[in-house]
Structure 1
Amino acid sequence: MCALCGVLGGDGHWTDAAPRPGVFTRNTDGLARRRERMARVAVANRILKLYGLSLSDWQGASFVLSTATGKSELVDNLAHLWAAAEKLAGRPCDPLDPAVIARLRDDHG
């Protein structure tokens, strides 16, 4: 998406919980939407840890992706996360790689 479309499109992203009438969500209040956002950050961090990266929420509007050495990049939404992760890690970051999924299963269970 170009910068102008991002500005004109509003501040919501399809990966975020939506408090709009007629849009399916169980998160109708701000606190519930915040909890859901933090749960997404936790899931992303399980994967990013395998690449030496971490993600944190920034003001409920963006995310900060960081390396262990302190390099960081602001990420607008989760759709931009993996491109930024590859840039900071200096290698491909594929959350659907079968080896990554196997490691997540092993670590979790």
Structure 2
Amino acid sequence: MAVLETFSWSPQNGPTADIQHRNTEVQYGDGYAQVTGDGINTESQKWPLTFIGMKEEIMPILAFLRAHAGVRAFRWVNPLGELGLYRASDIKPTIIDFARMSVTVTFATAYRAEPT
């Protein structure tokens, strides 16, 4: 089994999470509704993040994200202090000037089966 790498860079302050819960609801004729979680991993998180700095600071972040190609999961401690598995998508590097750049990216919850 491949070893999961850890993303250890800190984003700009103030990221806002989008936390969703996947539920199934059955509405009955008498007004009663039965709601249950859909599957074993009902919560998902998306974190839009921004990293700004000198080019030599941002390029290793960009290299890490590109190496995982939106497919391979990695470990990351989110701003709430929770360690989890995530995948990166919507990677957008921006050149600010000759020495500075930024990268915006969205981290989304990833799931994997435990070895048996």
TM-score normalised by structure 2 residue count: 0.26
Q: Whose relative contact order is higher, 1 or 2, with alpha carbons under 8 Å and at least 6 apart?
A: 2
Larger Rg: 2
TM-score normalised by structure 1 residue count: 0.27
* Larger strand share, 1 or 2: 2
